[in-house]
Amino acid sequence: MYSLNSLPVLLLALVNTARCYSVVREYSGQNFFDGWDFYGSWDNLTNGDIWWLNSSQAYSQQLAYVTTAGNAVIKVDNTSNVPFNEKRNTVRVTTHDSYALGSLWIVDVHHLPYGCSVWPAFWSKGVEWPQGGEIDIIEAVNVMQENQMALHTNFSCSHTTPPTGQQLGISGTGQNGPDCSTGPGCTVLETKNNSYGPGFNTNGGGVWATQFDLAGVFIWYWSRGNIPASITGATSTSDIDLSDWGVPSASYPNTTCNMTENFQNQQLVMDITLCGDWAGIGVVYNATCGSSGPTGLCYNDNVVGPGSPRYDEAYFEVSYVRAYTTGTPSPTTLPFASGNGASAATTTGATGDPSVSPAVVTNKGFGRREMGNQGLALDLLMWTVLVGVLTGVAVTL
């Protein structure tokens, strides 16, 4: 039996089992968007009041571009005057490639979108949702001050006893929070400063790293001045070592979440939506943004009308996204949905050792990411309690 205080040491042992990773793909510079698909549809996933543009529209409207410094930008339209009953344009991109267990992803971000109605995310998903699982690496809404991380799964996966220093989101309320298959998933709030909002941007941004492994899912965050030397000194071709990273910000060990049952190969996604099933629901929106307009309604007071200054800060600016692997890929069969009516999938990747060896699999499938799937009533209850955790505001249903 291990004590709670010993968990950080155990986690370091888990994540450092595979210490050295090799680059398999870098998204950066003028070619950043070459490896991504643009969604090109209204938000039929989280019911946001937006259109995610296709690539030609996004480029022509300057909602996706690369700066003179070589940073990739995706943004919300802040120049149009949107009439009532219409939607505002923005962008969602998904990698062509998917990444198997044994992968590591690093994203260097200079600016995150924020503001009333704004809901940005950088996350991963299986080709099938929710069977293939989801990892939320960067996600927040409205004027939250902290980033929130989460897992979404379709099977028996939980997050019950985080190590000392990790603050549960929904899980900390007792409202079915440990169950990763609920609408909000099993969430962890970032405890380090400047992980979202104005503080993140004025501080020069920061870096997230995510280890997707048989041992579990582990997410680190560092603000600009605290990025480990192993990352600041890395190049687009060099290996990376985890030994100076310390304890992750969020840890989901396989002791309570079977990785091969809950996760397929993962595609990376970056998107911005507005309002929708989290940022726009009354209990969440009103807690911090209800007085920002005359109606108290997310769509009416934000999406409709002029885009500036409301959405002047609603953009991602990203230096790079790097995907890494360990070792040499070897074939195996992963029973992603064993006993749940879905057939096993054959891929290359995990061999059973914590230092698993993934392959990159090219595909262009889109999954669904829809918090409402598990029942809006339950989700509203859980988000209501989360509002109290995030803001300290007493909310009455």
pLDDT tens digits, one per residue of 87-104: 999 999 999 999 999 999
- Give CA separation, 376 vs 22, 35, 69, 176, 191, in Å: 42, 35, 43, 14, 28
pLDDT tens digits, one per residue of 161-174: 666 667 666 433 33
* Whole-number average pLDDT of the chain: 81
Residue type, 395: V
Q: Residue 389 pLDDT more than 60?
A: no
Where does the pLDDT of residue 13 fall: very low under 50, low under 70, confident under 90, or very high at 90 and above? Answer: very low
- Give CA separation, 93 vs 34, 55, 72, 79, 241, in Å: 11, 9, 12, 21, 28
The Cα 186–Cα 310 span in angstroms is: 31
Stretch 359-381: mean pLDDT, rounded?
A: 40
Q: Residue 26 pLDDT more than 60?
A: yes
**Burial group, residue 309, by CB count within 10 angstroms (0-12, 13-18, 19+):** exposed
pLDDT of residue 331: 31
270 closest CA partner among 90, 1, 133:
90
CATH topology of domain 21-333: Jelly Rolls (2.60.120)
Helix-, strand-, coil-residue percentages of the chain, each rounded to 5: 20, 35, 45
If you write DSSP's letter for every residue of 267-293 in order, what string do you get? EEEEEEEESHHHHTSHHHHHHHTTTSS
pLDDT of residue 167: 67
What Rg value do the Cα atoms of the chain yield, rounded? 20
Which residue ranges make up each domain of the chain?
Answer: 21-333
The Cα 298–Cα 158 span in angstroms is: 32
Phi-psi region of 250 (alpha: psi -120 to 50; beta: other; left: phi over 0): beta
The Cα 107–Cα 363 span in angstroms is: 21
pLDDT tens digits, one per residue of 90-142: 999 999 999 999 999 999 999 999 999 999 999 999 988 778 999 999 999 99
pLDDT of residue 334: 31
Residue with tokens 């992980």: 195
Whether residue 113 contacts residue 279, with contact meaning beta carbons closer than 8 Å, is answered with no
Whether residue 315 contacts residue 271, with contact meaning beta carbons closer than 8 Å, is answered with no
**Residue numbers annotated as active site:** 134, 139
If you write DSSP's letter for every residue of 200-249 in order, what string do you get? HHHTT-EEEEEEEETTEEEEEEEEGGG--HHHHT--SSS-EE-TTS-S-S
pLDDT of residue 183: 81
Stretch 323-347: mean pLDDT, rounded?
A: 41
**Burial group, residue 81, by CB count within 10 angstroms (0-12, 13-18, 19+):** exposed
How far out from the chain centre does Cα 343 lie? Answer: 27
Stretch 43-62: mean pLDDT, rounded?
A: 96
- Residue 336 DSSP label: T
Whether residue 134 contacts residue 185, with contact meaning beta carbons closer than 8 Å, is answered with yes
pLDDT tens digits, one per residue of 54-85: 999 999 999 999 999 999 999 999 999 999 99
* DSSP alpha helix (H) spans, 63-217: 197-202
Lowest mean per-residue pLDDT among 34-48, 80-94, 167-181, 186-200: 167-181
